[in-house]
Amino acid sequence: MINRVLFFRSTQQDLMNAMGSMYAACLFLGIQNASAVQPVVDVERTVFYRERAAGMYSALPYAFAQVLVEIPYVLAQTVVYSVIVYSMIGFEWSAAKFFWYLFFQLCCFLYMTYYV
């Protein structure tokens, strides 16, 4: 809603406003993802250390499993969020620009989810 109020009835946006809105949009959901994942990772880390010490598996399969589990959820979340935010900010609707925006958002969300 904040982005919509900032860009209401504006026909031309300057570069700093566009970059600021993308930064805010990325941080909003990214920090929310990172905060939601932290308690889960904390519990799983203890289990992982115990199972790795027992020789059940190494870190690589565990890391790949974590990545594969998170991708569909983060992708769905990114698509829904990006369509809403992209239209509310008022960016130009072209397929190439939207998919670049979607790609940028997906990379940011995955980074913030995996960083924890």
CA–CA separation, 116 and 108 (whole Å): 13
Residue 4 lies in a domain: no
Q: Is the pLDDT of residue 19 over 90?
A: no
What does the pLDDT read at residue 75? Answer: 94
Residue 3 lies in a domain: no
> 21 Cβ partners below 8 Å, 6+ apart?
3, 6, 7, 89
CA–CA separation, 57 and 94 (whole Å): 46
CB atoms within 10 A of CB 28: 14
Residue 72 lies in a domain: yes
Residues spanned by the domain of 41:
14-115
Q: Which of the pair, 9 or 101, is modelled with greater confidence?
A: 101
Residue 5 lies in a domain: no
CB atoms within 10 A of CB 91: 17
Domain count, the chain: 1
Mean pLDDT of the region 60-79? 90
Q: Is the pLDDT of residue 12 over 70?
A: no
Residue 2 lies in a domain: no
